[in-house]
Structure 1
Amino acid sequence: MSNISFVILVIAVFVAYTVVKNLRLSGKLGGKIPYKRISAKEAWDMMQNQEPLTVVDVRTKGEWANGHIKGAINIPVETIGSVKPKKLNDADMPIMVYCQSGARSSQAARRLSALGYTQIYDLGGIHRWTYGTVR
């Protein structure tokens, strides 16, 4: 195989991989997007207008104690495993998750989706939240 043929083959594989990945992420390949990432404004609007909405802080208990979104419950991400959390008894209820920076909330959203929860919204990090916190 000539060098040019090899380069063309590598480019074609890369393009095909990128297209399939993007289609899968968009849900157009029949794959389900496990959760929706939302802005602080969208989260605020949901909290004001949507009943019921369960807000879940997935940080540690210590981080929780230093300040959290009013009305949120604390379920540390490391406790979300192969069994549904007792505090989240309805798999079809809307759930909004957040953490400190966004990494753990994304992880929690994926884990909750794998457990069968169907309406998961990921706020990301609480640092994006400008609507006040409580202790």
Structure 2
Amino acid sequence: MSKIYIILLIILVVVLFVSFNGRQAKTTTGTAAPYKKISAQEAMNLMQSGQTLTIVDVRTPAEFAAGHIQGSLNVPNETIGSSAPSALPDLDATILVYCRSGARSAQAAKKLLAIGYTNVLDFGGIINWPYEVVR
């Protein structure tokens, strides 16, 4: 008789565990905004639209100092962890992200979305930026 209770208890624990994990995965996946890649032209159009934007350069401070897009903030990709960077307090702000070639900007954009930012747009690398930069 006790073997039956142990087996039923094990089955109950497994069912609850599977049920909880399924719900947890849906919640985590369902809340992140989608990753969006845009062109340099689309980014420039947004910058010229008068819309409030935050432009984020995710390169190193030395790369940023060598030349960056006017008005951008330097938030290195390596410093973006599991919580919102202090330089980016508004999770609902429209954030345009770039780096040197596009690899780090894609990583940073995805990390920001995972943290809870809702409107992050990756426009790739400054090497493909045909417009003026600040030196």
Do these two structures clear the TM 0.5 threshold for a shared fold by scoring above it?
A: yes
> Alignment RMSD, CA only?
1.5
Amino acid aligned to 2:110: R
| Rounded Cα–Cα distance in structure 2 between residues aligned with 1:56 and 1:38 | 14
**Matching residue of 2:14:** none
| Rounded Cα–Cα distance in structure 2 between residues aligned with 1:54 and 1:114 | 18
Range with greater deviation from structure 2 (30-39 or 63-72): 30-39
**Matching residue of 1:109:** 109
Amino acid aligned to 2:106: S
Unaligned runs of 5+ residues in structure 1 are 1-29
Taking structure 2 as the reference length, the TM-score comes to 0.75
Taking structure 1 as the reference length, the TM-score comes to 0.75
**Matching residue of 1:68:** 68
Amino acid aligned to 2:118: T
On the 8 A contact 2:32/2:118 being kept in 1, the answer is no
Q: Percent identity?
A: 57
Amino acid aligned to 1:59: R
Structure 1 moving runs of 4+ over 4 Å: 30-33
On the 8 A contact 1:58/1:75 being kept in 2, the answer is yes
Answer 1 or 2: which has greater helix percent: 2
| Rounded Cα–Cα distance in structure 2 between residues aligned with 1:35 and 1:50 | 23
Unaligned runs of 5+ residues in structure 2 are 1-29
Amino acid aligned to 2:86: K
On the 8 A contact 1:36/1:120 being kept in 2, the answer is yes
